Amino acid sequence: MTELPQIRIGTRASKLALTQARQMQAKITAALGYGPEYIERVAPLVRITTTGDRVQDRRLLEIGGKSLFTKEIEEALLAGRVDCAVHSMKDVPAERQPGLVLAAIPEREDPRDAFLSPAYATLDDLPPGARLGTASLRRQAQALYRRPDLEIVMIRGNVDTRLAKLARGEADAMILALAGLKRLGLDGQVRSLFDPVQAPPAPGQGALAIETRAADAGADWVRALNHEPTAIAVAAERGALTALEGSCRTAIGAHARLDGRHLSLTVEALTPDGLGRFRREAAIELGADPAGEARSLGHALGVEIRAEGGERLLYAG
Q: Would you say 219 and 226 are in contact if contact means Cβ atoms under 8 Å apart?
A: no
DSSP 8-state code for residue 128? T
Burial class (CB in 10 A: 0-12, 13-18, 19+), 257: middle
Q: Would you say 272 and 251 are in contact if contact means Cβ atoms under 8 Å apart?
A: yes
Q: Whole-angstrom Cα distance, residue 312 to residue 317?
A: 13
* Catalytic-role residue among 53, 57, 83, 91: 91
Supply angle C-alpha 79, 80, 83, rounded to 5: 130
Helices (H), 147-219: 159-167, 178-183
Q: Would you say 44 and 31 are in contact if contact means Cβ atoms under 8 Å apart?
A: no
Q: Whole-angstrom Cα distance, residue 256 to residue 204?
A: 9
The amino acid at 287: G
Q: Would you say 132 and 191 are in contact if contact means Cβ atoms under 8 Å apart?
A: no
* Annotated catalytic residue 91: yes
Q: Would you say 143 and 175 are in contact if contact means Cβ atoms under 8 Å apart?
A: yes
Beta strands in 91-143 (DSSP E): 100-104, 113-116, 131-133
Active site residues: 91
